[in-house]
Amino acid sequence: MAEIQFSRGVKETVIPDVRVTRSKTGVSGTARFYFDAPTILNKESSDEITGMYLVDEEGEIVTREVKGKFVNGRPTSIEATLILNSQTEWDRFVRFMERYGEENGLGFTKA
């Protein structure tokens, strides 16, 4: 089980575009998640966005850097940024993405 949530306990069904960068030393990195028309922004949804939670059997990875994009006053997409400050955080993120990618048919493309 690996899922992304914007409100604890509410699974986001839209699969994001994920872009990852890593420092030359390999110690730190950044992961940017782009969600186009995520279900949390539906009119029927009354859930509040409290962050982005990457949840799997190891626990959760949390970021509060979540931004919405609006067109004509309506929310259309979400961008979330996860900062990875150590090799341990990087390794944990990679394990999550392997599980999430396997469950959702995502692949990795190296730049």
pLDDT, tens digit, 9 for 90 and up, residues 3-23: 999 999 999 999 999 999 998
Q: How many CA atoms lie within 13 A of 72 on its CB side?
A: 0
Report the 10 Å Cβ neighbour count for 80: 22
Q: Is residue 111 part of a domain?
A: no
Give pTM, 2 decimals. 0.90
Q: Which domain holds residue 79?
A: 2-104
Q: How many domains does the chain have?
A: 1
Domain of 53, CATH number, reads 2.40.30.220
What Cα–Cα distance (Å) separates residue 27 from each residue in 7, 20, 32? 30, 13, 17
pLDDT for 111: 61
Tell me the per-residue pLDDT of 26-61, one tens digit each, with 9 for 90 and over. Answer: 788 999 999 999 999 887 777 889 999 999 999 999
